[in-house]
Structure 1
Amino acid sequence: MADIKISVLDQAHISRNSNAHQTLLNSAELIKLSDELGFERYWLSEHHNFKQLAGTAPEVLIPYLGTQSKRIRIGSGGIMLPNHSTFKMAENFGLLASMFPGRIDLGIGRAPGGDRLSAHLLNPSNTFSEKDFQNQLIDIQTFLKHEELPDTYHESVKAYPKAEIPPEFWILTSSGGSAEYAAKFGMALSFAHFINPMGGPEVVAQYRDNFKPSDELGDPKVNVGIFGFCSEDENKVNDWITEFDYRMLYIEMGAKGEFPTLEEIKQMKYDRYQQARIAYNRGRFIAGTPDEMQARIMKLANDYSTDEIMIATMADNFEDRKESYKLIAEIMK
């Protein structure tokens, strides 16, 4: 397991009877722990119009968490670029890379990170077109590298400050479409298995086959994101799975109303459609005791031929969440 790097995806999930402030304090504590445990990177997601998640602006949270850590890479997983001005994001990440040299990742996604209305309000000019997204990718790279494209505004407009060590570029994908851009532009690829558990290894293989080296990246680079939970207590693992089953249904139903207690969830009966969704969603996570988790991490890494797995752990009990990451760190040794 020493060859497998583990990273953290923090979606800033607000637990029952908690709030955004406490959630962000927990993130500060978790990145300190992740740094001490030797994890590779710590990414923050961008979500909108979803009351259970406090992570609406990775570019705001990154500098706070950067000051709470020493060596771990920190970045966006991701910035949903169609929601934003590429010039402003280039300024933001040039500044972040100047504040934390050699530690900043710019993970870019194409999805809205919420519903279409929210995306429209964030960027009224958003057309959701592939061509516009490709142009944004060219734009943000050009701004960050201070290149000049003839007959464009890049001749006269630059994004300052220019970082001595620019952020590492990553493209996020869950369906495979964006993987084509990662290959075309020579960027690293992060496959969101926690969103789509089907077809990922094939997408990654196609990315590798079509990869064109860039100045920043000479060879294909891949990580895989998945939900996960580890405990030495099998009852806790089973409870986590029970809650996860319902949590995904709750999100798919629009996250309306208060989230029920674990005991209430245990009493629920699911119809055939819900049972089918639960069966599908169980492919989006790995969970188990340390020995079981080690085998599942290894299988996932082998399936994708990757040396980095990024784990997102949602758990209402923060101590259980921390313990899960500690146990995973131990099985890496």
Structure 2
Amino acid sequence: MKLSILDQSPISKGDTANQALQHTKQLAQYAESFGYTRFWTAEHHSTSGLASSSPEVLISHIASSTERIRVGSGGVLLPQYSPYKVAENFKLLEALFPGRIDLGVGRSPGGGQTIRLALTDGVKKNLIEFPRQLYDLQGFLDATLPKDHPYSSIKTAPLIDTLPETWVLGLSERGAKHAAANSTGFTFGHFINPDHGKEAVTEYLSHFQPSERMPAPHVTACVFVVCADTEEEAEELALSQDMWLLAVEKGRSTQVPSIEEAKQTVWSDEEKERVAENRKRAVIGTPQQVKEELQRLGDLYQTDEIMVITNIYDFEKKVTSYQLLASVFELS
């Protein structure tokens, strides 16, 4: 099985956004040395807890700091942007780093109405436009817009021999349907909501439309993972992620708390229930335990590639978690 990484550039309490972004770059370098396939950056706005607000900029920095690993977005918030501009941004990245760029897009609005309006400079956009935007995006990239399309005469610069891989990030059969119809890869967000994953993948595989750029379907699933030498240590490390997720669910743009803070916090019965529910989004344990569960998820989602996200407090422990995974899967 292949493993990849999604990193949201989480900011641990006591750190700065600058440090979080440096950690993201360092993690990408570690990921390449460990044998991971891809390293994706996220897009989040108006938050004090996540530093990655512009995946295009961060992709360029990370690709410049690595040599082989594929680098991409997980994902660009397409409903807020011009498909033409997104296509040009990623064709430029592909021109700079041929054969290494992934363009992952999502239907997420990216925040509340105020954030959405700020992103679009006051223009109200409707999420129902996503299928049309995705179609246009592929057309701009491939130069395949039909002659009667209003933008068919436009060239998407730079004109290059290779193209970025395109992916749709989704949580349901609806997202899978869009990916299949537009000949993109499909990434299921298990780490956001594991429900309906099997159904979504089945929808994608059943209706995938092959193209020259992607002749066969390609599925990945993204999962929270915390791995350590012992089950006890993994559970302890995961406490900071548990507490951070609780805060995120309450709408707080919080930084990742320390394990000590998490241990000292008295949780209500309702919060304990939420932690237990959120653990369904994660795999926590020893290398062998994590390997067995990821292989099970790989079978469930009919894929040989799992994307991992680890949002714990201690950066060195995060690196160790990824290293242990790489070792047990024999990535190198």
TM-score range, shorter chain: over 0.9
Q: Say yes or no: does 1:223 pair with 2:199.
A: no
Superposition RMSD in Å: 1.6
| Structure-to-structure mapping, 1:200-211, within 5 angstroms | 200-211=197-208
Structure 1 position 174, deviation (Å): 1.4
Q: Could you tell me which residue of structure 1 aligns to residue 87 of structure 2?
A: 90
Q: What TM-score comes out, normalization by structure 2 length?
A: 0.94
Q: Which of the numbers 102, 105, 110 marks the counterpart of 2:107?
A: 110
What's the CA shift string for 1:248-297, capped at 9, x where partnerless? 11111122677654333223333343233222211111111111111111
Count of residue pairs brought into register by the alignment: 329
Query: Which amino acid letter does the alignment assign opposite residue 268 of structure 1?
Result: T
- 2:86 match: secondary structure: helix
Q: What is the letter of the counterpart of residue 114 of structure 2? A: L
Separation in 2, partners of 1:19, 1:73: 27
CA distance in 2, matches of 1:257, 1:35: 29
Q: State the match for 1:184 in structure 2.
A: 181
Where does residue 303 of structure 1 map in the other structure? Answer: 300
1:150 matched to 2:147: yes
What is aligned with 1:273?
A: 270
Tell me if the contact between 1:174 and 1:191 (Cα under 8 Å) persists in the aligned partners: yes
Q: Is the 8 A contact 1:187 1:214 kept in 2?
A: no
State the identity %.
37
TM-score, structure 1 as length reference: 0.94
Q: Indicate the SS of the match to 2:115.
A: helix
Q: 1:259 to 1:67 in 2, by over 3 A?
A: closer
**1:57 corresponds to 2:54:** yes
Q: In the alignment, does 2:25 pair up with 1:39?
A: no
C-alpha displacement of 1:148: 4.3
CA contact (8 A) 1:145 1:162 kept: no
Alignment of 1:1-333 (within 5 A): 4-123=1-120, 124-130=122-128, 132-255=129-252, 260-333=257-330
Report if the CA contact (8 A) 2:248-2:254 is conserved. no
Contact in 1 for aligned 2:247/2:254 (Cα 8 Å):
no
SS at match of 2:206: helix
Q: Deviations over 1:15-36 (max 9, x none)?
A: 1111111111111111111111
CA distance in 1, matches of 2:235, 2:33: 28
What letter corresponds to residue 271 of structure 2 in structure 1?
Q
> Unpaired runs of 5+ in structure 1?
none
SS in 2 for 1:42: strand
- Structure 2 gaps, min length 5: none
Cα 1:87/1:116, change in 2 over 3 Å: same
Range that drifts further, 242-251 or 188-197: 242-251
